[in-house]
Amino acid sequence: MGGARGGVSAPGDPEALAAAALRRAPAGIARAISLVEDRRPEARPAVWRLLRRLAAEGRGASCHRVGLTGPPGVGKSTLASAMVGELRRRGRVVGVLAVDPSSPRSGGALLGDRARIALDPGDDAVFVRSMAAGGDLGGLSRAAGSAVEVLSAVHDVVLVETTGVGQSETDVEHVTDTVIVAIQPASGDVLQFLKAGLLEVPDVLVVNKADLGAPAERALAELRSALGTLDAGAGRAGSPPVLATSGATARGVPELVDACDQRFAALVADGSLLARRRRASAAWAYGLLRTLWGERGVERAGGRAALVGRLEAAIDRGAPAVEAVYAEGSRLE
Ligand SMILES: Nc1nc2c(ncn2[C@@H]2O[C@H](COP(=O)(O)OP(=O)(O)OP(=O)(O)O)[C@@H](O)[C@H]2O)c(=O)[nH]1
Ligand SMILES: [Mg+2]
């Protein structure tokens, strides 16, 4: 019987959960995510069956997975909620995963509250879930990759909110197609961002809280000019779009959603989406494997390059990333 939100005592029937999630029943989606969060070894076969079924029957390649990241307090949750509003106006079905670095629930609850304020409370075309960040896994929790797979099977767009950028293999760029990096409207923050060499990470850059006026305009100008200089110096084809946004007033939010749509259309048009996802999933799987079996495990498995190659091949054959991890790991035990 349903109703259990969190730690269900038995892993649950993955076929029934998949069917309920594919109907986009909120309780079905919630229980499917709870299943992928279940760390008990006896839950694994059910997790893998669920993910395989969702991959086979879900939206898969037509869902755009978007990461939204940036420093604490930059306004990610507020911006995510404004993006959800804009996406709903465009008729999209949206899943949101808020990965909260500090407390297990507050970030998601906050985002949930904002989303509920911004939206029709009866709108079940938006699903919001929070997840505690995994202290052991860089920015994201162990189950975040699988949770994104669940959400992307049943939504047009999945937004993943995380704090901090460019930390490790297990960062948000390995579970999403597009990464938006939000920075504070203050010069110091722009410089810090540039110094930290984080320009490889974003596909779209936003200076948020643009409603603050002058500081945001200055930050925007600095960032554009720094990017222009870098591009000229490195001969890069093009830097990410830089936008001014405000989650509070929704300024720039339609343009941000446009930028995301354009990027996704380009990934689909040039055929790079699936290869990119496979590479990203393998990088994610590698990070998880290294966390679980350590550097020595990686060595015993033949080293990083060989391992990543095998993980990528397994994922290419249709294995969920998390299944590929444990298949490799079982050979180390
Ligand atoms: N002026 C202004 N303030 C904003 C805007 N967006 C958020 N804020 C304020 O900034 C603070 C942080 O907003 P959040 O949306 O929770 O920021 P966050 O990046 O999700 O924060 P963490 O998840 O805790 O890292 C709150 O006090 C918001 O009211 C904005 O567009 N303009
Ligand atoms: Mg937040």
What's the CA-to-centroid distance between 97 and ligand 2, angstroms? 11
What pLDDT is attached to residue 109?
Answer: 54
Question: Any idea which fold 10-58 has?
Answer: 1.20.5
Q: Which atom of ligand 1 is nearest to the CA of 81?
A: 15
Strand ordering across the sheet containing 204-207: 126-132, 94-100, 157-163, 64-70, 178-183, 204-207, 242-244
Q: Which of 68, 76, 78 to mutate to test the pocket of ligand 1 (most atoms within 8 A of CB)?
A: 78
What's the CA-to-centroid distance between 69 and ligand 2, angstroms? 9
Average pLDDT, the chain: 85
What pLDDT is attached to residue 1?
Answer: 39
In this structure, are residues 323 and 286 in contact, taking their beta carbons and an 8 Å threshold?
Answer: no
**How do the domains of the chain map onto residue ranges?**
10-58, 60-269, 271-333
pLDDT in tens, 228-241: 776 666 555 567 88
Separation of alpha carbons 313 and 316, rounded Å? 5
Separation of alpha carbons 34 and 66, rounded Å? 21
The mean per-residue pLDDT over the stretch 305-318 comes to 96
pLDDT in tens, 253-270: 999 999 999 999 999 999
Confidence of residue 28 (pLDDT cuts 50, 70, 90): very high
pLDDT in tens, 96-131: 998 876 544 444 555 655 554 455 556 678 999 888
Q: Of all protein residues, whose CA lies closest to atom 6 belonging to ligand 1?
A: 75
Class of domain 60-269: alpha beta
**Does the beta carbon of 74 lie inside 6 Å of ligand 1?**
yes
The one-letter code for the residue type at 115 is: A
What pLDDT is attached to residue 105?
Answer: 46
In this structure, are residues 83 and 176 in contact, taking their beta carbons and an 8 Å threshold?
Answer: no
| CB hemisphere CA count around 89 (13 angstroms) | 11
pTM metric for this prediction: 0.90
What pLDDT is attached to residue 4?
Answer: 43
Which has more pLDDT, 176 or 228?
Answer: 176
Residue percentage of the chain with pLDDT more than 90: 59
